[in-house]
Structure 1
Amino acid sequence: MHFSSLPRDIRADAPLWGEIRDLLPGSLATVRVSMLDDLGQSWTSEASYRADWDGAVRLASSSPADAGWSGLDAYGPYWSMTPEPAEGVPFLPFFDSTTVSLAPVTTDVAVRVDAEVVASTQFERIFLRGVTVEEWRDEVIANVFVPHQRRASGCALVIGGSGGGFSWSNQVAALLAASGKLAASVAYFDWEGVYGLPTALEEIPLEFFLHALDRLKSLSGDSDDLAVVGFSKGAEAALIVASARADVKDVVAIAPTAYVWESARMTRFPARSSWSRRGDPIPFMIFDADEAFYESFDKSLLRLFHERAIEQHSLDDAHIPIERISGRISLVSSSGDGVWPSTPMCEAIVRRAAEAGRGRQVGHLCLKGAGHYLFIPGAPVPRDDGTPSAYARGNREWWGLLRSMLGISGRANRQVTA
């Protein structure tokens, strides 16, 4: 058994397409894939395959005999990984902040036959192939990812959620740029106050995002192709920003809301808006969390609080003014969202747009069984809402939609035969 022609690096959103050769036909081979994140957490998966008649296992076209997934799935060895937290380091989900440095993710592959390791190799999954990074650290805190070859027109501003800092947005913007799209991630608050940012998601000035758009648009040189991409609270911001800017051609909102919600903070009172404009708080909904929540921060309670608020306190002026958005709106929700009811809220957005005569510009992709924490395909999936296989499928679907809406053709680079 041997490896041959394995690349030194592949893009972080690329599947595992390799082949394992020179096995005995019909023999059982166990493939262990492992990697380390920024915190030193080890992530591993194992899958067993029966060798084909020619003594090969083709990871993209062979169904595992025993694995954390079923059927053909070239991303399976990645998304099914589970963590082994480093000593003294609290566990964090893979997407939250553990790859925010964008350092190459060293990945090891070992093959066992009859409990003996018969081959092993190593490669790196990278975020910054063919990309230069510019840091803005003034009135706008952003990382700008400039592709060496522009293969898609315009630019995209990427806004992360309540994780704060550059988590989620950094990885997404970097991979968009690696596909040829000029993109920038913005940090608008940070729980630890890095870069002098607010330490709570509370009355963040909308002008921060508008200034970032102006600078990115100037850098792009393409005034007719401006996109905003947001996740969770960042999707809330993206929709509000698009409603205030007629030059936004596309807004892609991942796990979004139909309403402006109260701030994300560490104490119960006072409830304030998450956003402001011209110094005034934007009208908002209170999600009715109780004192026990602020003592435990049990995220499993969040959907209940949001649903109760929508039933009891739905305020017209807290609706995000979708009817003011002039560009296309792409909504992505998950039926198993445990943070807030993203699917019913997306349906409310679609209805509101239709009532305003703008129904044709709105699309809604509902990911059946997936949870709130959508991320790039191939990342280890969360286990606290949704189901793992639905998460994995959903990550591929929303990522493909995003690339299509932003004019990015082709797919993530394929890994060559191993």
Structure 2
Amino acid sequence: MELRPGRAGALVDTPDGVVVTGAPPRARVTIEASLELSGLSWSCVGEYVVDDNGEVDTARAASVGGSYHGVDPFGLFWSADVPRRPDPQSVRPLNVTLRATCEDLVCDASYLRRVQGDGVTDHVVDATGVVGRLFAPAEEGGSRAVVLLSGSEGGMAWPLMGALLASHGVTSLSLAYFGRAGVPDQLRDIDVEVVGRACDWLRRVPGVEDRPPSVIGISRSGELALLAAALEPDKVGPVVSLVGSGVAWGELDEQTGAHVAAWRFEGEPVPQLREDPDHPLALLDDAEALAAAEIPVERATGPVLLLSGEDDGFWPSARLSRIAEARAQREGCGEKVVHVAYPDAGHGVGSPPGLAMPSVVHLGEATLRPGGTRAGNQAARVDAWSRILEHVGAPIR
């Protein structure tokens, strides 16, 4: 019996199967994948029925037992609970060790699935008004570009996604707009213009197409992405809001608990909701307050993609995204805004497929449930990732 892993050096979002050959026909094969990424380890198991040719290809064969069921080429990578998220700041490869067992036959193999493809360059940016990390594709000239924005955790936004997007041919700037040296400490009084400055800077990078870059925001930065597209539409191209909101929200001061503005434009706070910390979502039933804080998505010049989870445990991202969708329809530009809400998915919709995600997340002293089922989240991530790549203009490969 022989065990053949996927292509060496394939990207983590590549739907390569694991292949077993020379097994007894109609027997049952168990494949265990032990995985390690940036110090986080997990294991996934699939059980398969060998075909009449003595083969199993996990890209086509259904798992009939183990940690996932059905046909899923990513099943051996995501189908386990993990204690925390993979480090989004790391671009190290995913280490995969495989063991196939069939009756008294055992074989092993190991390989790497990469986040950062061959030739992708990576360097820290500390320019005037722009702090981040730039990932450029190996191909020279004519690249689309995207600015990535972090959520409420702040810091450098999603280097893992930046590296992966660059591996797909899109120059990516993981922007820091708070929570890092050189930018504000807190999500407070953040100038919406920081996104426009980043777009202008990125557009001047050699090899980038001379057109407004895309912007991707997740959770709280989904608001920022939409605000930037609405308030500086000449600077911002296509926008993706992942589990975000069609209304702007304020913040609570960490020391005093007082209401403060999260976002401002031209030095003044943008209209935003002032939530009650004891009843944080009560304002969603206040039509007047909602209307005042709606983000004017109709002003965006590029297309807007909203992706949300119906079972989001952090906040009701599907309901919040529908506010932007409904506003676009009222303003006569409904075709510009596309909203996809995934029924069995939670707050992890925007993560690339093929990595395990935790069922519980610890943020400071808070313990939060991202929501969704493991299978539902993975199905959503596969669909969402393909939509994201298309939306930002990644070359078809």
Q: How far 1:264 moved relative to its partner?
A: 6.7
TM-score (norm 2): 0.89
Q: How far 1:18 moved relative to its partner?
A: 2.3
| Letter aligned with residue 378 of structure 2 | A
| Residue matched to 1:93 | 85
Q: Output the CA distance in 2 between the equivalents of 1:211 and 1:104.
A: 32
Contact kept, 8 Å, 2:4 with 2:109, in 1: the verdict is: no
Q: How far 1:207 moved relative to its partner?
A: 2.5
Q: How far 1:356 moved relative to its partner?
A: 1.7
| Residue matched to 1:381 | 357
Q: Output the CA distance in 2 between the equivalents of 1:265 and 1:145.
A: 34
Describe the superposition over 1:190-216 as per-residue Cα deviations: whole angstroms up to 9, x where unpaired: 2xxx43443322222223222111100
Q: Output the CA distance in 2 between the equivalents of 1:112 and 1:265.
A: 56
Between stretches 258-267 and 124-133, larger displacement belongs to 258-267
Of the three residues 168, 186, 209, the one matched with 1:222 is: 209
Q: How far 1:283 moved relative to its partner?
A: 2.5
| Residue matched to 1:287 | 275
Looking at both structures, which has the greater relative contact order when contacts are Cα pairs under 8 Å and sequence separation is at least 6?
1
| Residue matched to 2:381 | 395
Of the three residues 354, 357, 366, the one matched with 2:329 is: 354
| Residue matched to 2:93 | 104
Between stretches 209-218 and 310-319, larger displacement belongs to 310-319
- Note the 1:19-418 alignment, pairs <5 A: 19-38=19-38, 40-83=39-82, 91-94=83-86, 98-114=87-103, 118-129=106-117, 130-138=119-127, 139-149=129-139, 153-167=143-157, 169-190=158-179, 194-219=180-205, 221-247=208-234, 248-263=236-251, 266=254, 269-290=257-278, 305-306=280-281, 308-312=282-286, 314-374=289-349, 375-383=351-359, 384=369, 385-410=371-396
Q: How far 1:406 moved relative to its partner?
A: 2.0
Label 1:77 to 1:135 Cα distance change in 2 as closer, same or farther (>3 A): same
| Residue matched to 2:363 | none
TM-score (norm 1): 0.85
Label 1:152 to 1:333 Cα distance change in 2 as closer, same or farther (>3 A): farther
Q: Output the CA distance in 2 between the equivalents of 1:265 and 1:80.
A: 39
Contact kept, 8 Å, 1:151 with 1:179, in 2: the verdict is: no
Contact kept, 8 Å, 2:252 with 2:259, in 1: the verdict is: no
Q: How far 1:397 moved relative to its partner?
A: 0.8
The secondary structure found in structure 2 opposite 1:109 is strand
Indicate the percent of aligned positions where both proteins have the same amino acid.
26
| Letter aligned with residue 262 of structure 1 | G
Q: How far 1:93 moved relative to its partner?
A: 2.1
Q: How far 1:270 moved relative to its partner?
A: 1.4
| Residue matched to 2:18 | 18
The secondary structure found in structure 1 opposite 2:3 is coil
Cα RMSD after superposing both structures: 2.2
The secondary structure found in structure 2 opposite 1:82 is coil
Label 1:82 to 1:5 Cα distance change in 2 as closer, same or farther (>3 A): closer
Q: How far 1:251 moved relative to its partner?
A: 0.8
Contact kept, 8 Å, 2:5 with 2:17, in 1: the verdict is: no
Describe the superposition over 1:256-285 as per-residue Cα deviations: whole angstroms up to 9, x where unpaired: 201111227655711212222233332321
Q: How far 1:67 moved relative to its partner?
A: 2.5
| Letter aligned with residue 198 of structure 1 | P
Q: Output the CA distance in 2 between the equivalents of 1:5 and 1:107.
A: 9
Q: How far 1:20 moved relative to its partner?
A: 0.9
| Letter aligned with residue 289 of structure 1 | P
Corresponding residue pairs, total? 381
The secondary structure found in structure 2 opposite 1:112 is strand
Q: How far 1:10 moved relative to its partner?
A: 1.3
